[in-house]
Structures are given as C-alpha cells and as structure tokens.
Structure 1
C-alpha cells in the first residue's frame, strides 16, 4: 500500500509540472542562436517518441560537400549531429570526441588541424600526440626530447631570459636548476651562494617569506632591526644596503666583499664582489676615532 502511495505521489508531481509549466517539463534549455527561430516549432527537429533526428531537413548534405571546413563530417563514425553539436542549453559546442573518427585518420591530426608554423613547432616532429592529448588539447605537456639535440641547450630560443635579481647573478646553463620534465619548481643550488650545514640549519621560511622564493630577507636569522642596519650603513656612506648578499656573500656580517675605501666607493651603484674577502668589524666608530687620533698626532 505504501509503495502505491509513493507511486501516485510521484505521478501527481509530474502531472503538476507538465500542467503548470510544460516548457520546463519538455524543453531542456534555451535554443542556440541559429535555432531560435524554431523555438515555437518543435516538430521541425523532433519526431514524436523518436527524439531529435531531423537535422537534415534544414542542413542539406550538399552544404557539407561544398564547404571544405565541413568535409570531415563524412568521415565521422556516427551520423548523429547531437554527438558534437549542442542545440539546447545556450549553444556552447560539446567537446569533440575523437573516438567518433575512424581509426585510419584518428592519428592524422593535420587532416583536420592546420599544422602550426611558429618558431616552437617548426623543429618538432610529426606526432602531435607527443605533447597534445585528445581529451584536452590545451594545456599541452611539452616533451623536450622531440627537439633536435642542437636545440636542447638553447633554452632562450623558446624561453625568455629572466632578468630578475636572482638570475642576473647566476652563471652556467639553465639545466643546472631547471629540468626538462618539470620547469617549475627549480632545484636551486644554495651552496653556490649560501652554504647550509650543521651550523646553518636554516629553513626556507627563515629567508623566504610567504613562500615567495623570488625575494629573501636576512632578518630571519641575523638579529638586526632594519632601523639599526640602515643607521650603521649610512654612517659609512653606504646607501645600497637592501641586498645583503651583494656585499656579504657568505652570510657573515663581518665578511664584506669590497676592498675600496669609503672615499673611493661609488655607492650609487650596486656593490660588485671582489676576489678576496675583507674582514670588517661593526665597531666602526671606535676604529675611525682611533684613526682620526693618529692623524691628529701626525
């Protein structure tokens, strides 16, 4: 009895929907722009109890034969237009299903797609499937092994040479940090710039804040305040002190890679590393006062 009650309840609900809103019950969405003129003539496309199978009543086969862009329709394994074309629901086309194509042309991408002639694609082979997939043409997974050997070492042919502060200091090839399979993230060799050992067990967050590895700060480890650092450097006439590694390449505040005296130095330009480190004490006032007393005695 309860089963019959549920059946009649569902039946009554369906009848109510059809009675009060027949368009909602039978129309699966707005027609595409090209079919809106048929919005009041459902029978022009739909056959009662058979579905929508009258596309050829408007779209004549001769149209496909005369239009070169439509010739490939004859090669489709199915003849149902609805497999690709979306008539209701806004008219957005459905993703093309390559399995509708015969196996003989499924791998022949240039049979439908124009072969790209840009600088990137020209040296590549004929097999588009090395990088592109049938389910998602974009984004493509670029396979560097498709390039000729001579092109593999010429990264800047395709990739723009970075001009940020980090890369300007680097020497060598891009492959020293970047790999062919995953360009990001790169494996940065810190020992070339900041050595990490048992005496320097820093974590990434100590220097790179908010996971931004393009910038760094030394205040995470060195117990200085920006104000005191600014004051110390300005006393020496140094204005370019924001990039600590320009002068303190080893990370030691007493290891300064500059041998020029304050009177000779041009602090308007970025500091340039020298071949030999110069030991420097932050007790500048005492040292300079002693030096001045020696000059007075002379």
Structure 2
C-alpha cells in the first residue's frame, strides 16, 4: 500500500536523524500525523503536518524542520522509488506527489488478483449493513433516503457499477456517429479487448496515459487509484476494530470516485491509448467495488 510505504520512508528518515528533530519525537504518536491523504489533490497525493507537530508553536522552526526532512527524504532510495515531487509549503507542510508508475502498479495488481484483491484472509466473514446504517455512516439522514440514487447509498453503488460495466461492454460494440450519420466500428473488437485484458494485468505502462493527460481527469484518476489502494487497510481495520460503518462509508467513497471518473470518458473523441488506459482504470474500480459489495452484503448487478 502506497500510503504505508511512504509512511515507513518518513519514519526511517526520522530514525536516522541524530539532530534535534529526533529529540522532539518524545511522546508524539506518529501514526496520525506522519502521512495523510491530501485534501487538495492538485498539490499532492499525500501530505504531512509532522514538522508542525514537532515545532509546536514555533512557525519558523516548523518550516526549517520540513525543509530538513524533505532534503533527507530526497536522499533516501525508498523515497525516490515512490516520490516524483516533494514540496515544502509554509508554515511547515510536506506535500508528496507519487510517481505515476506506482499508481499504475496498483491497477495492475487489481487486474491480476481480481476477486482476491484487498482480501487479508481467504475466510473473511461477510458483513451485511442495512441501507439506513449505510446512510448514517455516510452522513445521510436515514429518513431522507430516496428517491434518487444519490440519496440511496445502496442503489447508488449499484447504479455506478451497472453504468461502468455497461460502458465496458459498449467499448466492444458498434456505435452511432450522429455527427456524420454513420455507424462506427467498436473502439476495440473482441480480440483487441481480450488482449487489453491481458495487458491490464501484465503491462502497467498501459495505464500511464490516464495520469499524464491534462485537466480534471488526471486529478480524479489519481484520487480514485489511491482510494482503491487503501482497500486492504480498510478491511484490516474492520477486522480489528469491527467498524462496519467505516467500511460502508469507504465503499460509498469508492463508488463516488468511480462515477466521477466515468463521467470523463468520451468514446468518440478519445485518443486510442488514452481510452484504453481510462477503461483499465474503470475496470479496476468496478472490481474493487464488486469485492467491497461482497464484504458489506450489497449485491451488485
């Protein structure tokens, strides 16, 4: 998991540090402050407020600590394997932008492992949440469920899964070109689609166009993959803490990320390599959503 790998890299830098930073660690719980998902994806995939925690109320010291940690992390091989860009932002934040190769590897793993992806143990028990429980976990008023799928978390997850699976099928079918008044061939015929399925599992580079194109899609793609990557840690937390509502909320967040990304896919205007990458991202999202559906007792179409 990318977040855990990044967390270990930062902690290893702290353990090697022989200066005042190490002395400041006494009594600090690193787990909640080391690495967190960025709330501003445009500026990085993850961030850390640890320098602020170490410096206390001394803003100048926090910035100096952040710059020192950034310098040390850039010199660490494990960090370089993960981080494409590491920036320091006042008053003392570290922002991490991961290599697209790392994100592509997550997608490749999902396509290889399929139904076993994210499962920490083969005999993991199933969880069955009522719709009102899911609604409460997500922050809905259970009395206000329906009539739209957005107001009904279970139906929303089913809707997202069905729409995405339909889109994947359409990629193999002829479609009407209304602008030119003709029927165009499928973006990928049956043989090409089968080849793509194999490439999704074996050639991570096939996903990279989804992360290097311009606009909002790149942000949505990166955010979605990071959500998919956290499935095993979410299941582990559920197993250890029996926090079923958190798992239900995570499943809804995955569905939301998949749907937001799906809305950016355009068959008729996409470059072929970019369309293949986008469909690979969607297919991985559907697989994780299906796996989560089994865990929380939501039957997907």
TM-score calculated relative to the size of structure 1: 0.21
- The structure with the greater share of residues assigned to strand is 2
Bigger Rg over Cα? 1
Which has a greater percent of helix?
2
